[in-house]
Every structure is written in C-alpha cells, then in structure tokens.
Amino acid sequence: MRRSQFPNAAENERVEEIGEGLAQYTGTVAAAASHAEAVASTLEQLTAAEQHETFLQQAYITGVAYGILLDDASADWRRRVRSDSDLGQMLMTALDVRPAANALKASARYGGTELRAAEQARAERRRAVVRELQNRFVDGPVLLVPSGGGATFNAVGATPIPGAGTVYFSMYRTKGEWGTLEATKGVLISDDGRRRLPGPVRIEGANITGDGWTVTVAPGWTVRRGPRSDDYQIIRDPR
C-alpha cells in the first residue's frame, strides 16, 4: 500500500537492499558465532533503526532482516539472488505470502492506530524542523560552495528540504579544486551537488568561517557576492 503511493519507491528500495542490505547482512552473519546470535544482532539493529529520524539508509537494516528470514525460509536463496532480485518478493514466494486485501485493517494487529498517531505527531515536529532549516540554509544568507571533490560524512539523521536538497548534520569534510570545507553543525547539499552553508559569513583572506563551519579557498579561486545581496559564493578568480 505504501509503495503504491510513492512512484519508484519499490525500485529504489530494492536496489538499496541488494547493494547495501546484503553487505550488512553478510557482515552480521560473518561476525556471529551462531544463527541465534545473528538473529539477536538483527533484532538489535531493527530496534535501533526505529529510533532514526528519517528513513535514509534504512535499506541496510531491512536487507539484514530479509536475509535472516530467508535463511530459515529458503536455504538456497543466496545461490539464487541476483542484482535484479527483490528480497521482499523472494521471502513472500518462499513463505507463500500474499498481500493483505485491506492494509489498514491488517495494521491493527501491529498497533497501527497508535503508530499512526505517533507518526502524525512526529510529522508535525518534523515540519517545524524543516521550516527552521529552510530559514537557515535557504531563505537566510548563505555561502555557496561549488560541487565536486570527495567527501566524508554520515547520512544518519540527514533531513531533506523539498526543492532545495538535503541537510547533513554529522561531521562533514570535503576537498575539491576550489579548496576545503569542514562543517560540524550542518551543510545543505543541493540536487546539483553544490553546498550551502548558513551565514553570517566572515572572510579573512583565504579563510571563510561561519557558525559551525570553516572553508579554505584554494589558489586561483576567490569569494564574491552571491546572486542575492547577503549571499557569498566561491568562484574561479577572473583575474
């Protein structure tokens, strides 16, 4: 029912569960001394995942859960899985499971009413967070940092801003031909790969700083006023 309401959801989740979920499953099983220990580890991962603020990278955990269930339901599944497989569909086939005709009615067996109320309250809190991030990273003054270069960061807790990009809150480091960036309080990555850092912006030579972030501009690049009066941007030095 959920997948029917979101275009491409099934394919996006399938790809992530095969690419990342199977890797997490392999690590879980390889590190466990027994199947029971692998099951216990999977339950711990699922419990922790429920505390995440977003569904980003949840395919790591669902991939583990499907794999552990398939170990019991279909002993040879690992020989048959392919890059275009759907782990959930493989499990449904192995157990001869069919979707419930009425998903809302079926959800009542799993605390569906309480979950819906909790999720609605959470959604309202999340809307308030997104509004605050919109003010900081989109509507307010920002520094625009070019795309390109490698980066290290953790996507857990990342928050999308519709139409603008995604804010990553963990330690974020990146280096490109334009210079280096280190952020500890959030950076917005736009759909085109450019980074946005919240102002006010302080400029001291090649060093640019703001609340929770530092940028060092490489030779051959410079800082100029951005497309809006209070914005700044890093561009190639035209001289």
Which pLDDT score is estimated for 134?
A: 96
Could you report the per-residue pLDDT of 3-33, keeping only the tens digit for each? 888 989 899 999 999 999 999 999 999 999 9
- What CA–CA distance (Å, rounded) separates 137 from 153? 18
Which pLDDT belongs to residue 175? 94
The pLDDT assigned to 52 comes to 78
90, 25 Cβ separation under 8 angstroms: no
Splitting the chain (239 residues) into consecutive groups of 10 residues, what average pLDDT does each group show? 88 94 96 97 93 77 96 96 96 94 91 92 92 95 93 87 92 94 95 93 94 95 92 90
- Kindly give the pairing relationship between strand 187-189 and strand 195-198: antiparallel
Please, are residues 232 and 223 in contact by the beta-carbon 8 Å criterion?
yes
pLDDT of residue 3: 85
Q: Residue 219: what pLDDT? A: 95
pTM, entire model: 0.61
Strand duo 142-145 + 232-236: pairing? parallel
pLDDT for the residue numbered 214:
96
Note the pLDDT of residue 51.
81
Query: Helices 59-73 & 87-95, crossing angle to 10 degrees?
Result: 30
The dihedrals phi and psi of 61, each to the nearest 5 degrees, come to -80, -45
pLDDT of residue 170: 84
What's the confidence (pLDDT) of residue 168? 93
Amino acid letter, residue 196: R
Specify the pLDDT at position 2. Answer: 84
Q: Write down the pLDDT at residue 22.
A: 96
* Tokens coding 69: 């269930």
Which pLDDT tens digit goes with each residue over 138-159? 999 999 999 988 899 988 788 9
Which pLDDT value is given to residue 121? 94
